[in-house]
Amino acid sequence: MAHSHEAHQRSPSVWHPASGREAWRLKRELGEGAVFVAGGTLLRTQWEAGLAPYPAQLIDLSGAADMTGIKQSDEDGRGWRIGALATLAECRSHPGLAADFPLVKEAARLIAAPAVRNLATIGGNVLSRTGDMATALLALDTELLWLNDAGTHAEPLSAWLGRDREGLSGAPGLLLAILPSDVSGISMISKTRRFCAFHKVGRREAFVPPVVNVALNVAFDEGGAVADIRIAAGGGTMIPARLAAAEALTLGRTPDASLLAALHAAVNDEYAPKPDPFVGEAYRRMTAANLVAAALWKAGLDARASGEEGEPCC
C-alpha cells in the first residue's frame, strides 16, 4: 500500500531526447518502467481504461528530429520517407504525399477526429496494429525503419505484422520512419493504369475505430486485365493482413461478373476477423467481401473511363 501511495503521489518523469538514437539509449537505461510517448492519444485511453499502468518514466519523442517530417527520400524524387512522428493531420494534408499515395491520405482522413489527428502520429497508429493506417500501408508494400542496438534496419510491414500474428508481439526497436514503396518500381508494365481505394466501416460514421477496413491497389494492363494487385483488410482486434488468395485469383483477369463473384467468395473465406460484443463475424466478412468486390468493380469502371489518359493513383 505504501508503495502504491507513493506511486499515486508521483507524476512520471519525462525525458526529452533530441534524436531517435538518444531515445533508444534512454529506453535501454531506464528499462521496463519507461514508455515512449509521441502523440499520447492512444496511451491516455489505455491509462484511463486501466489497460496499461501509468508509467514511472515517459520518453517524449517529440524532440527527436530524425523521426519527423515527410520527404522524398532520394535525389531524383523517387521514394518517400514518412517520419514516424508525422501527425495524421500532416499525412492528410501533405500535397506531395497525397499525390503519390492517396491511400495514406484517405486512411488518415478517416481516423479519429481533427483534435486527435493533430496530435496522433502515423507511427503510433501503425504500431497500434489495429488502426486504419496499417491496412492502407500493407497495400503499398511498406517497409518500417527500426532502430535498435544493431543500428537501423528496414523490414516489410507485412513481416512485422506476420510475426505479431504468430504471437511474437512487440516492436523490434524504435520505429523511426515509414517507407512506402516507390510505386513506379512496382510491376512496371507499359500503359499500366493504377487505381486504389480505401474503405472504412465503423459503428458510426466518424470518430470510431474500424469494424472493417479494406485497401485496394490495382493496376490493369492495356487489355483491362489485372496486372498487379494488393488487397489488404483489417478492423476490430484482428491484425490487418494482405489477402493473398484473393489477389492471386484476379491476376490476368478482367473484373467481370464471374471474377467479381469469385473474388467476393474468396475474400469472405480468407478474411479472418474477430467478433466482439457489438459486431459479429459474419457481418464483418460480408462487409469486407462487398467492399473489396465493389472497389475492384469501380476500379475497372474507372480504368475504362480513363482510357489512355489514366493517371497513376497509388
Partner 1 sequence: MLLNRDTSGRRWRIRPDGRGKVTGELEYLTDLSLPNMLIGRVLRSPHPHAYIRSVDVSKALALPGVHAALTAKDVPGLNRFGIARPDYPVFCEDRVRFIGDAVAAIAADSDELAELALAAIEVDYEPLPVVDDPERAILGDSPLLYEEGNVFHRNGYKFGDIEAGFAAAAHIVEEIYSTPRQMHTYMETEGGLFVPGEDGRLTAYSPTQHGFMDRMQLSRILAKPEEDIRIVSSPIGGSFGGKDELNVQPYGALLALATGRPVKLHNSRWESVRAGLKRHPMKITMKTGVDADGRLVAHRAYVIADKGPYSTLGAEVLNFATEHVVGPYRFKAVDVDTVSAFTNNGMSGEFRGFGGNQAIFALEGQLDRLAALLGMDPWELRRRNLRRAEDPGPLGQPISVTGGAGQVWASLEGSALWRRRSESPAPVSSAPWLKRGIGAAYVMHGAGLGVGIPDPAGGRLQLRGDGKIEAVFGYEEFGQGLIASLMQMLIETFGFAERDIVITIGDTDVVPDSGSTTASRATSMMWQSLRRLRGPFAGKLLEAASRALALPAETLAIGEDGIRDAGDGRLLLSYAALAGAAGQPIAAQAHFSYPTSPVDRVGAHYMYSYSAVAVEVEVNTLTGRVHVVDQYHAVAAGPVVNPQGYLGQIEGGSSMALGFALTEDAVMSGGHYLTKNLDTYLVPTIVEHNGAVTVDAIEELPEGDEHGPRGLGELGSVGLAPAIAEAVYRATGKRASKLPIDPALLQEPIRFNEGGERHDRESANIGGAFRQA
Q: Give the footprint of partner 1 on this chain (CB under 8 A).
A: 1, 4-5, 8-9, 45, 48-49, 113, 201, 203-209, 254-258, 260-261, 264, 277-278, 280, 282-283, 286-287, 289-291, 293-294, 297-298, 300-301, 304-305
Residue 31: count other Cβ atoms within 10 Å of its Cβ: 9
Q: Is 193 helix (H, G, I), strand (E, B) or coil?
A: strand
Nearer of residues 177 and 295 to partner 1, judged by Cβ: 295
Q: Which residues contact 161 (CB under 8 A, 6 or more apart)?
A: 129, 134, 138, 239, 240, 241
For residue 106, which phi and psi values (nearest 5 degrees)? -70, -40
Nearest to partner 1 of 26, 208 (CB atom): 208
Closest distance of CB 307 from partner 1, Å: 11
Query: Do 53 and 10 contact (CB within 8 A), yes or no?
Result: no
Nearest approach, Cβ of 22 to partner 1 (angstroms)?
31
Smallest gap from Cβ 174 to partner 1, in A, equals 27
From CA 218, how far away is CA 189, in angstroms rounded?
Answer: 12
57 vs 297 by CB, closer to partner 1: 297
CA geometry: angle at 120 spanning 200 and 92, to 5°?
A: 55
**Shortest distance, CB of residue 290 to partner 1, whole angstroms?**
4
Closer CB to partner 1, 54 or 162, in the complex: 54
Q: Residue 85 and residue 19: Cα distance in Å, rounded?
A: 12
Nearest distance, CB of residue 47 and partner 1, angstroms = 12
- ∠ CA 198-199-204, nearest 5°, is 145
Q: Are strands 238-242 and 70-72 parallel, antiparallel or unpaired?
A: unpaired
The residue (of 89 and 157) whose beta carbon lies closer to partner 1 is 89
Which is nearer to partner 1, 27 or 285 (by Cβ)? 285
Q: Cα dist. 42→127, 177, 214, 276 in Å?
A: 11, 19, 22, 20
Return the number of the residue (171 or 262) whose C-beta is nearest partner 1: 262
Residue 79: closest CA among 154, 130, 21: 154
Smallest distance, partner 1 to C-beta of residue 56, A? 15
d(CA 257, CA 67) in angstroms, rounded, equals 46
Residue 294's nearest CA partner among 237, 231, 211, 221 is 231
Whichever of 17 and 300 has its CB closer to partner 1, that residue is: 300
CA 68/CA 35 separation, integer angstroms: 19
Retrieve residue 43's grid coordinates. 496511451
Q: Whole-number minimum distance, CB 245 to partner 1, in Å?
A: 18
To partner 1, the closest distance from the beta carbon of 282 in angstroms equals: 7
